[in-house]
Protein backbone atom coordinates (compact mmCIF):
# COMPACT_ATOMS: atom_id res chain seq x y z
CA UNK A 1 0.00 0.00 0.00
CA UNK A 2 1.25 3.45 -0.73
CA UNK A 3 1.02 6.38 1.63
CA UNK A 4 -0.10 8.39 -1.38
CA UNK A 5 -3.89 8.06 -1.44
CA UNK A 6 -5.87 9.65 -4.23
CA UNK A 7 -9.56 10.17 -4.83
CA UNK A 8 -10.90 9.65 -8.33
CA UNK A 9 -13.91 11.34 -9.93
CA UNK A 10 -16.37 8.85 -8.39
CA UNK A 11 -15.16 9.71 -4.89
CA UNK A 12 -13.45 6.35 -4.34
CA UNK A 13 -10.17 6.39 -2.45
CA UNK A 14 -7.32 4.50 -4.11
CA UNK A 15 -3.66 3.74 -3.47
CA UNK A 16 -0.79 2.38 -5.53
CA UNK A 17 0.87 -0.80 -4.29
CA UNK A 18 4.56 -0.13 -3.60
CA UNK A 19 5.39 -3.79 -4.30
CA UNK A 20 3.64 -4.57 -7.63
CA UNK A 21 2.45 -1.10 -8.75
CA UNK A 22 -1.24 -2.00 -9.01
CA UNK A 23 -3.73 0.83 -8.51
CA UNK A 24 -6.05 -0.44 -5.76
CA UNK A 25 -9.36 0.74 -4.35
CA UNK A 26 -9.21 1.35 -0.60
CA UNK A 27 -12.52 -0.55 -0.36
CA UNK A 28 -12.87 -4.23 -1.20
CA UNK A 29 -15.57 -5.50 -3.56
CA UNK A 30 -17.93 -6.04 -0.60
CA UNK A 31 -17.39 -2.47 0.66
CA UNK A 32 -15.10 -3.30 3.61
CA UNK A 33 -11.98 -1.15 4.04
CA UNK A 34 -8.80 -2.60 2.54
CA UNK A 35 -5.22 -1.92 3.63
CA UNK A 36 -3.32 -4.35 1.39
CA UNK A 37 -2.99 -5.08 -2.32
CA UNK A 38 -5.38 -7.82 -3.50
CA UNK A 39 -2.87 -8.99 -6.11
CA UNK A 40 0.35 -9.48 -4.09
CA UNK A 41 -1.08 -8.98 -0.54
CA UNK A 42 1.69 -6.50 0.41
CA UNK A 43 0.94 -3.43 2.51
CA UNK A 44 2.64 -0.47 4.19
CA UNK A 45 3.29 -0.11 7.90
CA UNK A 46 1.05 2.89 8.54
CA UNK A 47 -0.54 1.89 11.86
CA UNK A 48 1.24 1.08 15.10
CA UNK A 49 -0.78 -1.76 16.60
CA UNK A 50 1.09 -1.53 19.93
CA UNK A 51 0.42 2.20 20.42
CA UNK A 52 -2.94 2.15 18.54
CA UNK A 53 -2.07 5.08 16.33
CA UNK A 54 -0.14 6.09 13.22
CA UNK A 55 3.28 4.53 12.71
CA UNK A 56 6.41 6.50 11.88
CA UNK A 57 7.97 3.41 10.28
CA UNK A 58 6.15 3.33 6.90
CA UNK A 59 8.12 0.18 5.93
CA UNK A 60 6.81 -2.44 3.52
CA UNK A 61 4.66 -5.12 5.10
CA UNK A 62 5.25 -8.54 3.56
CA UNK A 63 2.58 -11.28 3.81
CA UNK A 64 4.12 -14.23 5.65
CA UNK A 65 1.21 -16.44 6.76
CA UNK A 66 -2.52 -16.83 7.17
CA UNK A 67 -4.40 -17.49 10.37
CA UNK A 68 -7.96 -18.67 10.89
CA UNK A 69 -9.94 -17.19 13.76
CA UNK A 70 -12.41 -19.18 15.85
CA UNK A 71 -15.17 -17.54 13.82
CA UNK A 72 -13.71 -19.06 10.64
CA UNK A 73 -12.54 -15.70 9.30
CA UNK A 74 -9.10 -15.72 7.62
CA UNK A 75 -6.44 -13.15 8.47
CA UNK A 76 -3.28 -12.26 6.54
CA UNK A 77 -0.24 -12.01 8.81
CA UNK A 78 2.22 -9.31 7.71
CA UNK A 79 5.78 -8.63 8.89
CA UNK A 80 7.31 -5.19 8.47
CA UNK A 81 10.53 -5.44 6.48
CA UNK A 82 11.95 -2.42 8.33
CA UNK A 83 11.06 -2.92 12.02
CA UNK A 84 9.83 -6.58 12.08
CA UNK A 85 6.45 -5.75 13.71
CA UNK A 86 3.77 -8.37 13.02
CA UNK A 87 0.19 -7.40 12.18
CA UNK A 88 -2.94 -9.22 11.09
CA UNK A 89 -5.52 -7.98 8.62
CA UNK A 90 -8.76 -9.57 7.40
CA UNK A 91 -8.68 -11.39 4.08
CA UNK A 92 -10.86 -9.65 1.48
CA UNK A 93 -13.09 -11.58 -0.92
CA UNK A 94 -11.07 -10.49 -3.96
CA UNK A 95 -7.60 -11.25 -2.54
CA UNK A 96 -5.31 -13.48 -4.60
CA UNK A 97 -6.49 -16.99 -3.64
CA UNK A 98 -3.36 -18.69 -4.99
CA UNK A 99 -1.06 -16.69 -2.69
CA UNK A 100 -3.40 -17.31 0.27
CA UNK A 101 -3.38 -21.08 -0.33
CA UNK A 102 0.40 -21.15 -0.79
CA UNK A 103 0.83 -19.49 2.61
CA UNK A 104 -1.74 -21.82 4.20
CA UNK A 105 -0.06 -25.05 3.04
CA UNK A 106 3.56 -23.93 3.50
CA UNK A 107 3.86 -25.48 7.01
CA UNK A 108 2.72 -28.84 5.62
CA UNK A 109 4.88 -28.64 2.49
CA UNK A 110 8.01 -27.49 4.35
CA UNK A 111 7.85 -28.86 7.92
CA UNK A 112 10.65 -27.87 10.35
CA UNK A 113 11.52 -31.57 10.87
CA UNK A 114 12.28 -34.50 8.56
CA UNK A 115 9.16 -36.33 7.41
CA UNK A 116 11.03 -39.62 7.78
CA UNK A 117 10.58 -39.25 11.55
CA UNK A 118 6.97 -40.39 11.11
CA UNK A 119 8.17 -43.79 9.85
CA UNK A 120 9.74 -44.58 13.22
CA UNK A 121 6.66 -43.76 15.34
> Is 118 exposed, middle or buried, given 0-12, 13-18 or 19+ CB atoms closer than 10 A?
exposed
CB atoms within 10 A of CB 62: 15
Domain residue limits, the chain? 5-109
Residue pLDDT tens, the chain, 121 long: 444 444 444 456 888 998 998 998 888 888 888 889 999 999 988 777 666 677 788 889 999 999 999 999 999 999 999 999 999 999 999 999 999 999 999 988 888 888 887 777 6
53: alpha, beta or left? (left if phi > 0; alpha if psi -120 to 50): beta
Q: Using one digit for the tens of pLDDT, what is the confidence trace for 19-40?
A: 998 998 888 888 888 889 999 9
Amino acid sequence: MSSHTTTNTLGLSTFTCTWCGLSVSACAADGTPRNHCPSCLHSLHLLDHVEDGPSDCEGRMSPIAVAVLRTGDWMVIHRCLRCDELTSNPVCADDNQLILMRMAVRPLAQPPFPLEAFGTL
